[in-house]
Amino acid sequence: MNALVKELEKDSAAMKEWLEHMHRNPELSMHEARTAEYIAQQLRGFGAYEIATGVGKYGIVATLKVGDGNKAIGLRADFDALPIQESNDFPYKSTVEGVSHLCGHDGHTAMLLGAAKYLARTRNFNGTVRLIFQPGEETMEGGPAMINDGLFERFPVDAVFGMHNIPGLEEGKFYFHPGETMSAVDNWEVEIIGRGGHGGIPELTIDPVVAGSSIVMAIQSIVSRNVAPAHRAVVTIGAFLAGKAGNVVANNAILRFSVRTTTPEDREMVLNNIRRIVAHQAESFGCTSEIRAGIPGAVLVNDAGETEKAARIAQAAFGEDQVIYPGPSFLASEDFAFMLQKRKGTYCFLGNGSGKMVHHPEYFFNQNVLPVGAAYWVALTEGYLR
């Protein structure tokens, strides 16, 4: 085992305790008051950091300056949960109905806390490290909220770095991709308004479920028929909500979907086609419609120089066989993209091993990689702030 990972293994029990506490007590995006206080409490216990809370509502920035170096590095972890019912049966499974950490943000935070504890103890660097604990990643709110609250003006950094676990990638390996690495996302809600009534007398109703079903199918043609095969995009309808009884025609139906694109031109085209299809399909069934747009995401673009630098530091720390460079890109989305618009840096992936993909009810964060991820944060800090 790598020497640095062995050192971080000494704090494995603490990292597991932090992860399991947050996993049992998940909070949704921008409602993470108790989670934020828990994180701040752990940081205070390390006795070395200047801690700022309430940055962008629930964000936390912990600062540690060592020596006379004038460089500063930012390390970011997220800590919000998802509105999904967990199907796992762990002793530390979620205790909150319909809410769970099924993306691994509890693990991300535990790894950064592990690195924080180690760095406070060893202080083997010259400069400033800023640990950024961010709320609201899942809704694309937390990153912009912290930035708008003066994140980089109040806590300057030369570069900022993020990391995400990915099931299906080899356990404990790091994957770095320069340039465009994750897609922009638009989370939309569409309401189809019809006229409810008795299921046995449909001629007196206008059925929004039928209209909504037609919209679902029509939208699937947008990417396949309008996006160039050389480009990448996806439209996913994740929720179709209507009615509560089988013998009642609902008065309205709700569609919730995510739109992921990798170029501004494709984004504009896909969204315009959705607007057109929703309006015309709803009208053709005698319904009306309303579109409610969420906060748009951005394409995550890793700085080529910083990506190569981070990959080289990881190779030196863990061995070349543990680092894949260049690695894969994904059509998932991340509001860390907004931080990379403000400061150069990179976002890497940590292999979670085999298991269900993030956002699946049976997903779980592989606790074996906790010391590995924490060791990466330490190696990056020590390598960047020599």
Task: Confirm or deny that 198 is annotated as ligand binding.
Answer: no
Task: Confirm or deny that 21 is annotated as ligand binding.
Answer: no
Task: Pull the structure tokens for residue 286.
Answer: 């005698």
Which has the closest alpha carbon to 70: 125, 120, 116?
125
Residue 370, classed as helix, strand or coil, is helix
Say how far apart CA 136 and CA 56 lie, in whole Å: 10
Q: Which residues contact residue 115 at a Cβ distance below 8 angstroms, ignoring those fewer than 6 apart? A: 8, 75, 131, 374, 375, 377, 378, 381
Task: Confirm or deny that 177 is annotated as ligand binding.
Answer: no
Give the active site residues: 80, 137
Task: Confirm or deny that 23 is annotated as ligand binding.
Answer: no
Say how far apart CA 118 and CA 106 lie, in whole Å: 19
Separation in Å, CA 80 to CA 31, 77, 103, 116, 327: 8, 10, 9, 19, 26
Q: Which residues contact residue 229 at a Cβ distance below 8 angstroms, ignoring those fewer than 6 apart? A: none
Listed in order, strand segments (DSSP E) in the chain are 50-55, 59-66, 72-78, 127-134, 159-166, 174-175, 179-182, 184-193, 197-198, 233-241, 248-249, 252-261, 288-293, 300-302, 323-324, 345-351
Annotated binding site: 103, 105, 138, 164, 359
Annotated binding site for Mn(2+): 103, 105, 138, 164, 359
